Amino acid sequence: MDIARTPTTPDGNPEMADAAFEPAQPPVIHRKDYAPFPWLLPATHLEFALGVEHTRVVSTLQIERNPAAAASAHILLNGDGLTAVSVRVDGQETSDWEMEGDNLRLNLSGDAHEISITTEIEPSANTQLMGLYASNGMLCTQCEAEGFRRITFFPDRPDVLSTYTVKMTGPKADFPVLLSNGNKAAEGDNGDGTHWAEWHDPWPKPSYLFALVAGDLVANTDSFTTVSGREVDLAIYVRAQNDGGDLDRTGHAMRSLVKSMKWDEEVFGREYDLDVFNIVAVSDFNMGAMENKGLNVFNTKYVLADPETATDGDFDGVEGVIAHEYFHNWSGNRITCQDWFQLSLKEGFTVLRDQLFSQDMQGEAVKRIEDVRILRSVQFPEDSGPLAHPIRPDSFREISNFYTATVYNKGAEVIRMMRTMCGPEAFRKGTDLYFDRHDGEAATCEDFITAMEDGAGLDLTQFRLWYSQAGTPKVAVDLTHAGDTATLTLRQTVPATADQPGKKPMPIPLKIAMFDRVSGQHSGEQLIVLKTDEQSFNFEGFAEKPILSINRGFSAPVTIERDIADEDLVFLAARDDDPFARYEAMQDLVVGHLTAASGNGLDDSARGTGRLAIAQAFEAVLSDDMLDDSMRGELMMLPGLTFLMEQQLVADPSRIHEEREGLKAWLGARFEDTLVTLHQRVSAVPYDQEATSRGARKVKTQALVYLAAGNSERASQIAAAQYHAADNMTDRQGALMVLTGLGTAARTDTLIDFHRRYAGNELVVDKWFALQASSLHPNAIEHVKALAQHKDFTIRNPNRVRSLYMAFAGNPHAFHAVDGEGYRLIADLILELDPINPQTAARFVSPLGRWRRIEPGRADLMRAELERIKAAENLSRDTFEQVTRSLG
């Protein structure tokens, strides 16, 4: 499952001070307490009488005792807000059952039974968008992690695997298309205006992978022939009644699917295993997408794309998420998780797989930088805050709060480190062994690690600490020189986190290169592994102290702390042959300067010296004819405010923003003519989706960003001209992004034109909201308030809510307004949204939870808003848990 590319924060729930308002809390679940379910479910049959207002569900379960589990005289079936209409055992109505909270406990004496339970649900009333719910007249499901229990009573846990047969009946006019997992077995017309379809999935799966979609849909179809000759029918469905041309925007998604299927065969040896693969695009969806076996349900954001409505980033997002969910067919479906503590087994591994795929499709250098930027902006703050947890935690309360950047992104980095240590070929041997050993099983992270040891020849005994310890390791670097020998001394620390005050050293693989100062070259890249608290490495053959390039390719998810001269950073930023290391040097140069300037402050002389060093590196980036524009665009980007705030124990957002904007304006003014010339050059590159054209558009936007800071009037004219001349969304959105931060007439004119031009296109209107909420305009808060009252805003659609409020929460200069108005806006949203969609509401708590890292005045205001949320009556378990953990 993809969490809309912005994974959520983890769980935890201290006691509440005022018990009068405390919601009923689920018990703490501990990994050590795992026990197999007492019953096996060889087969599950589901019958649905479908309706938007009312749906009747009859579930028939074939069960038998599990010889690997302790015997039980009953079976406990999970439910959430359900009422059993009837319960039958072996064909006979029974009353030998009772409710335990939301769950149904049924007493059983024999070794094998057939259980049949009828429930009735109301999809149109399901605003949580979990289970079976209605969206624009269609019915769809989302069952991960515990949504299936909102459909029928069932052992809703990932280690209970069953084959499913699903029969759906409904009005043909309302639901002409009936889809479920697996292959279609039969269909028919009842002659009374209703029709039916039956689907069968031959591969045992857990309930979280169940899917059903019914509606008035049209499809883009294609086919794929697997390596063994299986012909697979492919279809991407969208709503037929949407007059926005959605079907025409599915071509890129279909091409991405075909490329994913071919790539997985070639790189990981994984072949698809059903006769059909279906994708359905849904506009009301909490997540990014869901990997249900054979029937992926997607947020429209990650399906629909064409040049007029989608940016280059949108095209990449579609391709990456399509690949991610398809790759889950093996890393998540054929091998699933024993329990939810093992979530990173499927998500971390699959994120790495989609990253490697995207590297091959888009280019390794820029893709690696983009992945690290996400890790640092989302996961590093998680690791250093009150919600820190290992990628395989030992306990949790609310599973919906468990889908985090740590589980997904850091989980991918941990597996990537294994690949770095053994190499791609040995890594493939390890993954082949994992797939062969555990196909058809509910596995654990330990199973994966053991397979990598046995298949790739690694000793991962100490490496297992990466799975059990929270926090981002810090590696202090000291390089000395004597005679012809350079000595590199590394010291690692793993910071204490809430539940883990003491940490052990972990193996940290670091790719390095030593540049000779005379020749400006290095003799080759090396891999060293730091395994202890402190370790030294000697390198001979240097007449003088070399320049160190370290953590090349971001070989380990750590923070490097090094005392390195600005002139050496300028050298690396201009000449390092590792793209990530070059980017890192540029970032370090800017981060060091802005951290010093916004911390203790710099006098005019020191500020000038720092800016000149940055300008020297910046000029090298602008003038390097050997540099492709995609990489040039990355090197031009300044570190984001959130990342800069993370560099200080206590940050003042206003000072950091002021210094960052001051540097940007200085660079924009200093290089104004060069930037205008650069903008003119790349504007001449015609539009397509090839690397050269994409790189040109990235540079074009970055040039505008600096020009707007240095000469707003000139930038406004250039941006307005770019906006109106644009033949693609990347250029149009880039120009509008710059204009939204300026107080010019062109800003108002283009915002009006953009909304008029794309009225009715939900995804593009989302962009319109997000651009204004994330802008540098001094009145951004007032703009957000006004937009919340706009006729196109609805709190019931997660995409629309995220487009306005998550964009605002990620806009530090506005969110951290000194009077606390930004905090109040987000707190008010949480309180309004929580009764409607608690899962989405809970994800907005994290920005407020960073109060410990903010200067005291603002910190008090942030904490007060958390206390206000906590005191609210009838707060959901999702939000309550996040708030109490954030308060500590």
Task: Determine contact, residues 816/822, Cβ cutoff 8 Å.
Answer: yes
**500: number of Cβ within 10 Å:** 17
Contact 76, 61 (CB under 8 A): no
Q: Token pair for residue 246?
A: 């959605």
Compute the distance between CA of residue 757 and CA of residue 753 in angstroms, rounded to an integer. 6
Q: Would you say 863 and 871 are in contact if contact means Cβ atoms under 8 Å apart?
A: no
CA distance 519 to 525: 16
Could you tell me if 42 and 163 are in contact, meaning their C-beta atoms sit under 8 angstroms apart? Answer: yes
Of residues 664, 680, 756, the one with CA closest to residue 712: 664
Q: Does residue 212 contact residue 139 with C-beta atoms inside 8 Å?
A: yes
53 given a catalytic annotation:
no
Q: Which of 325, 382, 413, 865 is catalytic?
A: 325
Separation CA 862–CA 841 (nearest Å): 17
Any bridge partners for residue 477, and if so which?
A: 490, 562
Tokens of 77: 């079936």
Q: Is 186 exposed, middle or buried (0-12, 13-18, 19+ CB in 10 A)?
A: exposed
Alpha-carbon span 339 to 443, nearest angstrom: 8
| Cα–Cα distance, 484 to 463 (Å, whole number) | 34
The contacts of residue 724 (CB under 8 Å, 6+ apart) are none
Contacts of 674 (CB under 8 A, 6+ apart): 619, 622
Number of H helices, E strands in the chain: 31, 31
Tokens describing residue 778: 């001094």
DSSP E strands in 507-588: the ranges are: 508-515, 526-530, 534-540, 547-550, 559-562
User: How far, CA to CA in Å, does 585 sit from each of 393, 552, 700?
Assistant: 34, 11, 23
Q: DSSP 3-state assignment of 446?
A: helix
Rounded CA separation 424/427 (Å): 5
With CA atoms as reference, report the closest residue to 722 among 710, 709, 711, 702.
Answer: 702
- Check: CB of residue 469 under 8 Å from CB of residue 390: yes
Determine how β-strand 442-443 pairs with β-strand 336-337: parallel
CA separation for the pair 565, 479 (Å, rounded): 12
> Which runs of consecutive H residues, i.e. helices, occur in 639-711?
641-646, 653-670, 672-683, 691-710
For helices 312-327 and 343-362, angle between their N-to-C axes, nearest 10 degrees: 130
Which residues have C-beta within 8 Å of that of residue 321, sequence separation ≥ 6?
2, 5, 288, 289, 298, 302, 354
* DSSP state for residue 2 in the 8-state scheme: B
Angle between helices 312-327 and 691-710 (to 10 degrees): 130
Using CB atoms within 10 A of its CB, is residue 36 exposed (0-12), middle (13-18) or buried (19+)? middle
Query: How many other β-carbons are positioned within 10 Å of the β-carbon of residue 30?
Result: 12
- Of residues 757, 618, 775, 767, the one with CA closest to residue 708: 775
Strands 547-550 and 508-515: antiparallel
The C-alpha atoms of residue 867 and residue 768 are separated, in whole angstroms, by: 32
Q: Rg of the chain's alpha carbons, rounded to an integer?
A: 28
**Which residues participate in catalysis according to the annotation?**
325
